[in-house]
Each structure stands twice: as structure tokens, then as C-alpha cells.
Structure 1
Amino acid sequence: MSQSNTPARDHLEQILSRLDARRDNEKAYVRLYAESARIEADAADRRRQIGATLGPLDGKIVSIKDLFDVAGEPTLAGSIIKRTAAVPKQDAVVVKRLRAAGAVIVGKTHMTEFAFTAVGLNPHYPVPGNATDESLIPGGSSSGAAVSAAEGTCDIAIGSDTGGSVRIPAALNGLVGFKPTARRVPLDGAFPLAPSLDSIGPLAHTVSDCALTDAVLAGEPATALAPRPVAGLRIGVPRGQLLAERSAEIAAAFSASLDRLTAAGAVLVDCTIDDLIDRLREATAIGSIAGLEASRLHADWLSDQDAPVDVRVSSTLRRRMLTPQTALDALLETRAGLVGDMDARLSAYDLIVLPTTPIAAVPIVSVEADEAEYDRVEGLLLRNCQVANQFDLTAITLPMPGQTRPAGLMLVGRNGMDKTLLAVAASVEALLRDN
């Protein structure tokens, strides 16, 4: 992580000044911690003056998604019905680890309600427009996280990823976004969507920043990332349904990215995973794992037909509540078998590569009032990313160059291969930046 010569307090004040100037029209942040952030920034500067450090995040400005507990305030998770919820007595584990690493937590960012949707709309709050063009969707569910990092009102954003909620908005806003292997980063104090699929990851401008942040979140030593050259790596390209319906621009950028990998000595091999995806799709005909698990978590308000919750969330969860628990248990057992099958399938490759999303960000107005278009866009945004969650893999998105609107290249690794994936991603990042 590059070390700026700007004192943390000065950097923070620049950010707070920007946010104050738009305080009547704030769309990225739901809550700011200006005073505590100043105290944290001053402490980081004092350490720096005496040559001490808490690590590479010391003094870095960090935003956190609105589903992480902060002691003394209700955790809203993008909802208004949680305003009267019990107040946590301690920070989420990842928040504690960030503070211990010297991070300056500037605020909580907007998200879709209960992290349930991928487009970035939440009826209770204004839509955080895409950082590259505010008329475009930001992607979700970590919408404000991506916008805050991409626009520079934080250095690093922390989001959650259950079906692509870090990687989708990262790709649409031109960022790096990392989804670690599930359960590697503790979920304690993070409002859940689907415990079987949830993971916590960073959004930032570089692979290095994501890797160092991930180490802190996972409770590991944050050491400099050593890029792993791609020469000789066997990289699978899943030809089939995951490459369908790509925009012409993304198809061209993906092809150009593959050419750069080949030129650098990677061995690209066509691979097939459609059969495994189809088997999981058959198993989830009763409902998605996320929808089914979330319906159990939200049973307390689902019986209230007047609950002020996004209808896209409430209608789905009410349907999923009708599915017997025995059916969900059987689905999770089927999924466990398919996770094993996918691991065996991918053992022939060092990693696989895909477009993160087959489309770039669309205009907000195109999905706000047209439910059919909303469903089409959301389905495409989720399609490629959710494979990593469903099959218990690790994945990272990197910005592809030369795009009119940002789009990502996704590298996917086997369960537990996080460090290897990050090291390879650092080399791929350099290849994509060389023009």
C-alpha cells in the first residue's frame, strides 16, 4: 500500500469538507463519524511522527457498510424498521480489527435493504449514483461502499458479498473488489443475509490495498503482496452460459484481456462448468439459498403485511417462508455435494477467468419503474458473480481497460486459495494497466 505524505488528519479533513458541502444531498453515506475519525487520524499522525506504526492501514480512511455493528447505535442494514432495534454493546469483529490496525473509520455507507438486491436501489434512501456517472446504477448491495471508494471519500471500503455484493458494485465503479473464501473473515457483528453464503471483503483501487485489508479482516499479518507471474499458469475459461448475453464492449474487452494473459505466458484452456451450474439451478427451483435462509432470519416481521420493507425483498421472502425447513436442509446437502464436485472440476486449473458482469451500469431511470427491466438487469449482474458464493470459492474483480463505462475481469480460485489468487491478481492488474 502506497504511503501518502499527507497527514491522516489533513486527508480526513479534505474528505469531510467534500461531504459537508453536499450534506443536504448525501447519497453514499448513511452516517458519518467525523469526531471519532478526527481522534483516530490524530492518533495515527502522532504515531507517524515518532516512527511508530500499527501496520499498512494505519491512518487510512475507511468506510464500512451499514450492516456492521458499531457499539452504541442500531445496525440498520439499509432498513428503516431496524431504527428501534437493540443497540449492540460492541463493534463487529472486523470493525475492531480495523481500529486495532489504525484505520480511520469515516462513516457507514448506504446499501440495498438487508443486502438483498444487486442493482443498488433502496426505496428508503436516494440512490447513490455511480461514481463515474451519477445517472447510472451503482450496483449492490454494497452500493455506497463502491461509490465512496471510487469517488475518493475513503481510501478503502468494506462490504459484504453473498452473491456478488462486493464484486458487482466494484466492477461497475471501476474498482478492485475481493470476495474471500467464506468463513475466513469472521461474520460476528455483521447483519446476515444468508449465513451459508455470506463473506466480508474490501473494495479499493488496487489489489495491494485489498490484500492488505483482507489480511487485517482475517486476523493475519498484513505483509506486502508478492505478485505471482502468470507465465505457465493454467487458466480455465468457462465457455458457455457465463459468457452469454455480454455487451459488445465487454465481450471485446474480455477478449483483449485474455490476449494479454496469453501474451504473458498463461495457458488458457476452455473448461466446462455449465453442468454443475445447471444441477444447482435445479436444486434451487424451490428458491435461492439466499432467499430461503433470509426468510428464516426475517420471520419476525414477515407476518406483518404492512412492514415498511422494499417490496422486492418482502415479497420474495414471504414466498420463501412457505418452503419447509426439510426442503432447505436437503438443498444445503445437495449444495455441499456440488461444492465438492466443483472443487474437483477446478483442480485442473490454477484459476478460472470470466467477465465480472456481462453488462456495464445502466441508467437508474431504466430500472426504477420497469420491473421487467429491473429483473433482467439484476439477473445479469448476479449471474457470474454468484457462482463463487454458491460453490464456496474465492474471487476478485479487476477493472478492464478501455471501457466507456467501467467493467470488470473476474478471477476465481478454489476454496482457501485466497493468497494465491491475490498474488496472481496483482500480476494480472499490471498486465491490464499496460497500454
Structure 2
Amino acid sequence: MTNVRDKLEEILARLVKRTDDERVYLRVYQEAARSAADAADARKRDGVSLGPLDGAIVSIKDLLDVAGETTTAGSVVLRDHPPATRDAVVVRRLRQAGAVILGKTNMVEFAFSGIGLNPHFGTPGNATDPERIPGGSSSGAGVSVAEGTSEVSIGSDTGGSVRIPAALNGVVGFKPTARRIPLEGAFPLSYTLDSLGPLARNVADCAATDAVMAGEEARTLSPYPLAGLRVGVPRGRLFTEMESMVGEAFEASLGRLATAGARIVDYDIEDLLDRMADATSRTSIASVEAAEIHADWIEAKAEKIDPRVQKWIARRQSISAPTYIRMIRRRNELVAAMDARLLAIDILALPTTAISAPFMAPLVADESLYNQTDTLILRNTTFGNQFDLTGISIPVPGWPRPIGFMLLARHGQDRRLLEIASSVERELVY
């Protein structure tokens, strides 16, 4: 079996060959990764293991702190900020579990889009077609796992930023319940909605990584029986404007689950979506919280910020405190209402994104098209963050472009969702 150092050297050789056009990684820790790989190989020779991530090649999103370097969050504006004094909590836990931290992956500036573009450091092309978008905001994370330059990548998900690039690149992406994973050392987009989650080639690797990040004991996923599984399909606005291929792939996947004994039912949540839309009609939670986070530079250094990001954040600086507080209070009430609504089923199922990855060039050239596409790509994932659900995107094989099949469960049901997802994955993929 190939040892960890050999795997690492193969990846490093690939990255060296494309140095002049590297867009997936913003930093590569060659020597530190080699040391970690050698240590993992030594433990293996001695019959010692730190757990399922021991020796795994892991990349991390550019918004996670690494001691001694400045965290730039995909932006040139933050380059002159002081270096981090310590690793982010999740980075520290990954190192302690024996993970080989290869490098930092590219992202949308300040994590503010589901498309994946970055004008400062270049945009990674989709792993299956470089002319298509990678999805965002964890763009480099999705591409690195799909192309095999990492086995696991850590992203952040505020409105779908783990699940979208996972879906569009054909890998698994898991969004934990918010605040279950420590956010210390992660540059924020939204204090309320942010969560950190893994992308990997399979559900088991996501589950193992999630346990490490959460500081939980590693456990093998127990198979969850599909027979009798209650699957709710929230048809309505979340199924409009859908690409025909995506719809066909979703219905075919539902059919396979039904054949395995799952009970598929249409499950109405339109009233709750209406109420959340009304509660956030003045502004989105993410944008108003981002306006506070970036207040010191969003106007003062506007010329250095991607205008597709800058103007949306800057516009929210005028939102009043009463408006924001009322929005958060109503959101908390709706989180409780959704939790009660989902008691009658095990999971919600829907396409992760309404469309597969579109070509990049038209979106770069047309701001209106960019905004429309960004809204559509984020639509199916964002409500999971708004209602504090846990969610996962599983690839649906056999179609011309990657398509994601998304499962959502009540907040706090993370482990159960991963077990269900593992069984669904076996039915759809293997």
C-alpha cells in the first residue's frame, strides 16, 4: 500500500507542474506537510494510529487561521493584518488527529457568493470542466477533493458554501448544525449562520472529519435502514427554474430510495419559507452581519474589493439595530417552528442546486446574469442555514455533469443524518 509520504509527493509534483497557473491553492505547506506525512508513516510502521484521519491529506479554506501567517479570507485587503498567534481550533484538532495539512484553498472574497469567482487570486475551474464555475464560496475546497489533490477539505457554510461546491464538483459536502463545530480562528461572514464542515469523496470520511472537528470520539457509522425511512420532499418554490437534467436525476434517485423501502411523501414547508422571507425582506442576516464585520474597510478600501462583493455588503450598513434585532428574534421563532414541523419525518430531500455548473465566462461578463445565477444556486441550500438545519450533499453518478442530492435534518441530528446519508450513498453510488 502506498505510504502517506509517497501520496503527498505525487500531489506536490502535480502542484509544481501548474505553479504558474495555480488557482486552487493559495498557500502550500510543503515542508510541514512532509514532516506530518513522515510522522504518520512512522506511526503506521510501529502499529500506532491516532484515528481515521491519521495520514489523511487535508486542505483548509483560506479563512482558517494558521499560526504565524495572516488570514486573508480570499481578499487582498486583509494582507496587512497581523498574523494569527495560533491555529484555528479545527486546524489544531486536525493536526492532533494526525491529518497532513497540505495547504489553504482559494475562496470567494469574504465567502460572499455561491458562484466561486475570485478576481484577486484567479478562479479555480470546475474539476470536471475548467470552463465551468466551481461553486462557492469554498471553491478551492470542492475542486481539490474532486481532482484528488486532497482527500478531505475543510470549508465554511453560511448559505451553502460547503454543499454547493461539493454538488457542482461531484463530491460529498456536510454542513453541521451551526456552532456545533468551534468557530474560533475562522474569519466570519455571519455570526448567526456560519458553520464549518468537511468535503470528501464519501460520507464516511466526512463523518470521521466532522467528529475530529467537533472534538468527539471517532465512531464507525452504523447502517441506517432505508426501509420505512420517512423522506419529505418540499416541492414548491425550491423546485422551480430547475434544469431538466437535475430534475431527472433527483426523481431517479428518489425512485431508488423508494425501491429500497423508503416512504417518499411531498412535504409542505411553503408557509415557513414565506414567513422567513418576510422576516428577512429588509436584508439578509448574512449581509447585515457582514456589514459590521467589514465596516473598517468596506468603504475605505472599496477599490481593492471585488465589486460583486463590496456593494452588497456596503449597502447594509444603514440597517438599524431595531430592524436587525427584530429579524433575529423572528428567525429564532421560525427555527423552533421548523424543528416542530420536521418531527413527522426523518429527512427532507431535494436537489442541492437547481442547476448544474454553468459556464464561467458569461457570468463574468454580465453582472445581471451573475446575480440571477447566484440567487438560484444559493436558493436550495440557504434555507437550511436560515432554519439551523444540518445538511449534506451526495453526488448522483451517471449524468453528464455533477449533480448533488441533498438531505436535511433537524438541528442537532448531525450524527443521525450522517448515518442516513451513508445508507443513501450506498444505494445511489455503489
TM-score interval, normalised by the smaller of the two chains? over 0.9
Per-residue deviation, 1:225: 1.2
Q: For 1:266, which of 262, 265, 288 is the aligned residue? A: 262
| AA at the equivalent of 1:328 | Y
**1:334 corresponds to which residue?**
330
Preserved CA contact (<8 Å) 1:142 1:160? yes
Please, what TM-score do these two structures have when normalized by structure 2? 0.99
- d(CA) in 1 for partners of 2:291 and 2:23? 28
Preserved CA contact (<8 Å) 1:301 1:307? no
Question: 1:340-419 to 2 correspondence within 5 Å?
Answer: 340-419=336-415
Residue aligned with 1:302, SS: coil
- 2:18 is equivalent to residue 39 of structure 1: no
Per-residue deviation, 1:401: 2.1
- 2:10 is equivalent to residue 10 of structure 1: no
- d(CA) in 1 for partners of 2:302 and 2:136? 25
Q: For 2:253, which of 235, 250, 257 is the aligned residue? A: 257
Per-residue deviation, 1:125: 1.7
Question: 1:235-246 to 2 correspondence within 5 Å?
Answer: 235-246=231-242
Please, what TM-score do these two structures have when normalized by structure 1? 0.98
| AA at the equivalent of 2:249 | A
Preserved CA contact (<8 Å) 1:97 1:216? yes
- d(CA) in 2 for partners of 1:274 and 1:327? 24
Preserved CA contact (<8 Å) 2:61 2:105? yes
**Per-residue displacement from partner, 1:297-351 (whole Å, max 9, x unpaired)?**
1111123164411111111111100111221111000000010111111111011
- d(CA) in 1 for partners of 2:42 and 2:73? 34
| AA at the equivalent of 1:217 | M
Residue aligned with 1:285, SS: coil
- d(CA) in 1 for partners of 2:148 and 2:43? 24
- d(CA) in 2 for partners of 1:413 and 1:124? 37
- d(CA) in 2 for partners of 1:131 and 1:100? 30
| AA at the equivalent of 2:99 | A
**2:205 corresponds to which residue?**
209
5+ unaligned residues in a row in structure 2: which ranges? none
Identity between Structure 1 and Structure 2 (%): 57
**Per-residue displacement from partner, 1:188-229 (whole Å, max 9, x unpaired)?**
000000010000000011000000000000000112111212
- d(CA) in 2 for partners of 1:159 and 1:120? 13
**2:159 corresponds to which residue?**
163
Residue aligned with 1:286, SS: coil
Residue aligned with 1:64, SS: strand
Question: 1:132-171 to 2 correspondence within 5 Å?
Answer: 132-171=128-167
| AA at the equivalent of 1:23 | T
**Per-residue displacement from partner, 1:25-72 (whole Å, max 9, x unpaired)?**
101000000000000000000000000011110001000000000000
- d(CA) in 2 for partners of 1:328 and 1:144? 32
Per-residue deviation, 1:79: 0.3
Preserved CA contact (<8 Å) 1:180 1:395? yes
- Aligned residue pairs, count: 430
- 2:158 is equivalent to residue 127 of structure 1: no
| AA at the equivalent of 1:141 | S
Please identify runs of 4+ aligned residues in structure 1 that moved more than 2 A: none
**1:57 corresponds to which residue?**
53
- d(CA) in 2 for partners of 1:239 and 1:21? 47
- d(CA) in 2 for partners of 1:313 and 1:306? 10
Q: For 1:93, which of 86, 89, 92 is the aligned residue? A: 89
What is the Cα-based RMSD across aligned positions, in Å?
0.8
| AA at the equivalent of 2:335 | V
**2:186 corresponds to which residue?**
190
**1:426 corresponds to which residue?**
422
**Per-residue displacement from partner, 1:241-270 (whole Å, max 9, x unpaired)?**
111111111111111011011101111111
5+ unaligned residues in a row in structure 1: which ranges? none
Change (3 A) 1:48 1:339: same
Q: For 2:25, which of 18, 25, 29 is the aligned residue? A: 29
Q: For 1:102, which of 98, 107, 116 is the aligned residue? A: 98
Preserved CA contact (<8 Å) 1:227 1:425? no
